[in-house]
Structure 1
Amino acid sequence: MLTNSIILVTGGTGSFGNTFIPMTLKKYNPKKIIIYSRDEMKQWEMAKKFQNEDRIRFFIGDVRDRERLHRALDGVDYVVHAAATKIVPTAEYNPFECIKTNINGAMNIIDACIDKGVKRCVALSTDKASQPVNLYGATKLCSDKVFIAGNSYTGGRTRFAVVRYGNVMGSRGSVIPFFLDTAKTGKLTITDKRMTRFMISLEQGVELVWHAFEDMEGGEIYVKKIPSMNICDIATAVDEKAEQIEIGIRPGEKLHEQMIGVEDAHFTYEYSEHFKIIPQICEWGQAEKMIKGGKQVADGFSYTSDNNTEWMTILQLRKWIEENKDKVGNI
């Protein structure tokens, strides 16, 4: 589907974009990939990595700027919406700015995609959007809702879907690079030793987006099946000799993360490698086309990091860190 197409990635200089772009160039050979973001320095650094790649274009712009999006989306076939204000404390201290980017920006993307005749758009979500307890999660829940509802405006010409996954291992601002840095002091701070988190690699996230593009009818939320880990095990995998100091849970932080709540069980279907939440209101399409052989989950089902059936071991994470040490914190 993506072969010989034009793809635009919002927030394309971030962790996701730095993995999606080389993987997609190699697998699909698109005609062009446009990186749309507002940080000129990150674009400058990224351009050096692709200086001999004539299929890459860079476009300075903000998802808050609807006119700029209209210009950037000329001739674009597919969009991946990865731009977001996503650091939890930053969102809490700058709520107006978070809302402008994560909600207003999402609406701008939807309007521009429809106006410019984009075929399909996949938006990246987060486990924090399921029963959110912080502003970042709340804005991403709103974003998910507007992307799903966006399908009702298009008459099937443009399709929108969402992918949702948990903690991306080794990405900038995540716990693994933080532990690697602070382990030098011989001490690792743990907010709560009971805490669990979902674990996913960026490569798995990219593959989920590819699957969404191929499979989507419009309005689905795709949830990757991924393992969980206890926070103390993550710390041990980084440095088993460091002292672990419990400091208490932070404002806006969950003890366990959730990607599917019990309220969504009636609309959730299971597949070999993922779950799919179909929209509760689907006036633009047929649910049967979305289900595609999936098995409806049991009533009362939820998918949380503490009730997971799959767990990553300390040795597995330690091996992953060793194999990706040059990328951790830089993606």
Structure 2
Amino acid sequence: MAADTHIAAVLTEVGRPLELVHRPTPRPGANEVLIAVKAVAFNPLDYVQRDRGFNVARFPAVVGSDIAGIIIARGSALPDDAAPPVGARVCAKAPTFATKAAPDYGGLQEIALVPAANVMLLPDDMPFESGASLPMAVVTTWSGWYTIGMPRETKFMPEDKMGMLVWGGASSIGSAAVQISAALGFVVYAVASEKHSEYVKQLGAHKVFDYKCDGAADAIVKAAKDDGVWLNTGFDAVGATADCLQVLREFVDANGVPTRLAEAVPMFGNAPQADGVIVKFIVSPLDDAERAEFTRFVFAWLATAIDEGRFVPSPPVRIMEGGLASADKAMDILRAGVSGTKLVIEV
């Protein structure tokens, strides 16, 4: 049984540090599960919600999307095969964005509510800390494909020579985009720090370019054309929109068919644009039923890919000491910039 109350890291107003408070523990709705959170991984959305109030409807709020833990209660309407049983080790995408940071659903607390569709059983040998790094990155990547209209059944053969640009290939979301793109048969041209080049290649990138080098965009264009690869799709994990556009605009075909860029970082103000390139900020389906079906598909794909060895948690996790009390510190470090690591706390 769940406790009557639990500790949560609560956002009381925009731009303020989180406060540790006791919150009443909710009961799961008909199609929800209640999770005792054991690990939380951090994403840029977390500090954007904290610092800007992005997609936060009201206060107090609880942010945090990537969690892993143990199911402690299930909704009354869930059939046995709709979600793992009570006691199962799972990872989950807490619906912080979809619920506009409604406090029962945020990940930064000891116990969180999650729609059953957002839950995946963890392999027995996968630590909670690694499992927590999976949901947001994988769902965001597939949401990128959804946003720019790429079909789920997309699959290319080597002779098709269809290219994918991934800028920020050593980041959590970027490394997921590299792995998923490679699994779908794209020839992946990734951009990352030189020190992470070999790691990103191990994840499936065909070639990796150092983002610190002047002329990286031109080098990517040349490499793809030399390889005979049509590089007409991109995924920007780090907000390098202008650089991605410099590459993709070179692959608009003679008939004016546009290239497409999925942008993972919220675009504020006058975002860069380029003729012939469609840029869209990544969103998930807005309809509740469609979103649940979409998320079930993503986690089914992920479970199979992990089982077949086509996907691994990435990048390596860095555990921040202090549990929930260190959440602000973790977000501040992430905002300042991390490379090739995923910040995680144990709860």
What TM-score do the two structures reach when normalised by structure 1?
A: 0.34
| Structure (1/2) with the larger strand percentage | 2
- The structure with the greater share of residues assigned to helix is 1
